[in-house]
Amino acid sequence: MFSLKKLSPSITDMIRFDHSHVMVTFHQYTVDKRPSVKKALAETICDALEIHATLEEEIFYPAMRPRAHDRKVMDKSEPEHDEMRSVIAELRGTDPKSPRHDELVFELMRDVVHHVADEETVLLPEAEQTMSKDKLSELGVQMTKRRLELVTPKAGKIAANTALGFSSSTAALVVGVAGALFAARAVTRKSA
């Protein structure tokens, strides 16, 4: 019998994967894409960022707060999420044919790149230095379980946007990861 602990990556690896997924999606977005593709890519970015921010705020940041040596990075992380949510709200209400839609996607990308740089150069290495591998794995399991709760209601929308917005090779990668998450959920249910 498999356990989720054996299947789940560490929390720091999961955060890095989320960052990579969003960056790959940003790189698919160009101003010359069809409006329907731009909308699908923007929705994929928005959903991924909202889920990621929730996971960090509920699981990672509380575990890191007592360990963080760089208080400045830790203290600005959640306000940066709030700013991203504000841009996401405006982006979702903007017609993908409008130049403002492109501007908002690129503004969001700039915000995310800055945020990712802080996390990947400060918070994630600090987590790996101050937490045991078991703790990082335990937090990874918590993040996997919570991610499944957040993704499940949006699974159809995410699949449709992935099919519309990505090239076939990138879509295959994203669908493969989604399949692995659903397999982990099935294992979780069996072991529960």
Domains (ranges, CATH) in the chain?
Answer: 4-191 (1.20.120)
The residue with tokens 């996971």 is: 55
All residues at 6 or more sequence positions from 27 whose CB lies less than 8 Å from its CB, including other chains: none
pTM of structure: 0.82
Reduce the DSSP state of residue 22 to 3 states and report it: helix
DSSP string, 114-165: HHHHHIIIIIHHHHHHHS-HHHHHHHHHHHHHHHHHHHGGGHHHHHHHHHHH
7's tokens: 């299947």
pLDDT in 10s for each residue of the chain, 192 residues:
445 556 679 999 999 999 999 999 999 999 999 999 999 999 999 999 999 999 999 999 999 999 988 789 999 999 999 999 999 999 999 999 999 999 999 999 999 999 999 999 999 999 999 999 999 999 999 999 999 999 988 888 888 888 888 764 444 445 555 555 444 444 444 444
